[in-house]
Structure 1
């Protein structure tokens, strides 16, 4: 998906695409983006400020899913009657259900 971003070092606006690669930087593990102008320039996530457009879905559903699974896991860990297997599977199922419902409510599906 083509995204519009501002290069923090010089203020230029560029269109970039996520490469799927990750790099380790002083900011931790970051996503890598490539400029779509055929220049072959790569940027790490911390070098860019992403700009939102009104018609663009800017929700990172995988991140929502992960955060919800973490919250659910914390809640299930307090329940000593559940096995480790259930404690690991139930939060994932519930976070998937939450994301599906949120997408429906937001008209994203």
Structure 2
């Protein structure tokens, strides 16, 4: 997800400080969620070996499910970012999400 390790004395308010036996050892600086989404999309492109927009519909639906599980749609403009990467409209992304949620309800 693009996190960075920093010395605990350089940790900021948003960093996660990890302690071992009561002593601060390292801090993890997490990227902004929007940056993480870009990293996740790039990783998915590498995994599939092609741009996400070139995937077939079924694979795009699987990508949307995986992104939902990782919280991609909690990010501001997440649906728009994913839609752009997939080469579909945001309404299509919502349809993929609704279809998955309806299937879970069955």
TM-score using structure 1 length: 0.27
**TM-score with structure 2 length normalisation?**
0.28
* Rg larger in structure: 1
Q: Which has the higher contact order (CA 8 A, sep 6+)?
A: 2
Task: Write 1 or 2 for the structure with the bigger share of strand.
Answer: 1
